[in-house]
Each structure stands twice: as structure tokens, then as C-alpha cells.
Amino acid sequence: MSIKVWGFFFLSFLFNNICFAYDIKLYPIEHSLEYKPTLDLVFSGLNYQNQKVFFNDIEIFIQRLKQTRPFTENFGRIKFYCIYFSEKEKNVIFQQVQGFPPLKVRQDFLEDIFARLKSNYKLVIIDASGLTSCAELSSSEKASLIILGKARYKDKHSFAKGFLHELGHSLGLRDECVDCQQLLAAGPPNCAAIREDAEKWWGDLVGKDLRVNYISGCCGNKDYIRPTIASFMNDPGKAEDFGPVNERYLNELLKNKIVSNPSGS
């Protein structure tokens, strides 16, 4: 599920700026950075009773990502981080709220992460007791947030696929469902409002890849057009991949990156 407005996430609390005492470290994983990193994933846990369970959930995501095109062939371009901080500091940085999205995060905290990494990033907040998952429709050129409510998923497989769906949103992919709860405007690369746009964005794959065509319905509008019947951006519970059009987009994206500050400056 994606959200329309970046400001929801970046609403800051009415506090004076503080000096954050958290620690951010590379997540220990056996893989070599074969290229200049183009995607930084920063994991933070909420409402975990056991830190080992949190680390296990991170491992579930990493292993599923490693098995999913085009991240498989670009795995050496991804860096993984984990944030360590006290419960007291979490209470200052994060605020649970009613409605959607279910969480607010201090903007100065997000800017501090950027200052430390000197790179844009995706902050993946895993809420062990949460029931809502969402992410901003963003791009690799911006820092943004992904919220995953673990309690909504029935098993580790649906949990991992939910992560991939929200990661897709954070990298610019739109919902390909017709009955979406949060409606978005059509747009590249995977939801066209008119046939001419669809032909421009993925027409070269129609006829070459049997899965790619002009399928009715995406972004909550039955008249919009999507490239495949099923993908993680349509039905992550049943799909096994992002689909050819989305994979091509993500592959090109992972090979290019522009650094920008989350404050917008």
C-alpha cells in the first residue's frame, strides 16, 4: 500500500532539536559490494520483545531480496544497516497515531541519518505488533520510509512479499490492483491512464514477453492499464516476482543514483 503525501511521514514533533544517541551499523551479512552502492536499506524495529526475533526478520527480508530479480543480479549494489537505540529514544523519535499512516517520525532524526550515511536511504520500520504496512511512492533519488506491520502477515513468506511490495512503492512502482484502498494517479513505469502511454512505456516488450500486454486496471481504476496480470505490485500474496516491466525499471534504477537530502535541500 502506498501513500500520496510525503509530509505525513516527515511531520516533525514539537520538540527542540536534540543530539541523537542512537547507533547505526552495517548489518552483518556475507556479501561483497561489487559496485558502488546504489541502495541503502536501514532497518529499525518497534515493539519487539526479543532483539533476536528482529534480526531474524531482517534476515528473512534480505534472503528474499537476494532471490528476487532484479535484486539478485544487483545484490552487490545494496548496503544494509541496522539502528540501535534505547526504548526511551524510540519514544522521542517515533509516535504512534490513529489513522493512516500509523506512525510519525521526527524529521531531524531522518536528516541525521542522511548526515551519517551521506546518502539517501530507505528507512524500513518493522513494527512487531503493527497491522498496517505502507510506503511513500518515492524513488531511489530520495530518502523515504517503509512501515511494515508484522502482525498482519500470516507467515514469513507473506511477510517477505509484503516487504517487497512496499519496497517497490518506495522505488517508484505504483499499485497494479483495481480495488486499492489508497488511490493514486496513473504514471510510469507500470500504470498508464491511456493506451498511448502504455505503448510508450512497455510496448517494446509486448509480443516479445508472453506475460506483457495491456491489462485493464491499476491504481484503483479499472480503466487504467497495467503491463501484467500478476506481480508483487498487484497481488503479492500470489505473485512470485515483480514482472518483466517492473524488473526492467528496477534494474535500470539500481544502476543509477542521485543523492538528495530528505529535508528537500
Which cell is 129 given?
505488533
Instruction: Give, for 168, the enclosing helix (H) or strand (E).
Output: helix 156-170
Residues 126, 54 contacting (CB under 8 angstroms): yes
Q: What is the pTM of this model?
A: 0.88
Residue 33 is predicted with a pLDDT of 57
Residue 102 is predicted with a pLDDT of 84
Report which of 64, 49, 57 is spatially closest to residue 27, judged by C-alpha positions: 57
Q: Which residues in the chain land under pLDDT 70?
A: 1-20, 29-35, 257-265
Ranges in the chain annotated CATH 3.40.390? 2-172
Report which DSSP code applies to 77: G
Report which of 231, 193, 169 is spatially closest to residue 6, judged by C-alpha positions: 169
Report which DSSP code applies to 150: G
3-class DSSP assignment, residue 103: strand
* E strand map for the chain: 2-3, 23-26, 39-46, 78-84, 94-96, 103-105, 122-127, 134-136, 144-149, 215-218, 221-226
Residue 13 is predicted with a pLDDT of 36
What's 2-172's CATH class?
alpha beta
Measured between alpha carbons, how far is 211 from 58 in angstroms, rounded to an integer?
31
Residue length of the chain: 265
Measured between alpha carbons, how far is 174 from 180 in angstroms, rounded to an integer?
11
3-class DSSP assignment, residue 204: helix
Residue 28, Cβ density class (10 Å: 0-12 exposed, 13-18 middle, ≥19 buried):
exposed
Question: pLDDT of 130-172, one tens digit each?
Answer: 999 999 899 888 899 999 999 999 999 999 999 999 999 999 9
Residue 12 is predicted with a pLDDT of 35
Residues 10, 110 contacting (CB under 8 angstroms): yes
Q: Which amino acid is at 63?
A: Q
Residue 264 is predicted with a pLDDT of 45
Residue 248 is predicted with a pLDDT of 97
Which cell is 72 given?
539478485
Other CB atoms within a 10 A radius of the CB of residue 114 amount to: 18
Measured between alpha carbons, how far is 188 from 194 in angstroms, rounded to an integer?
12
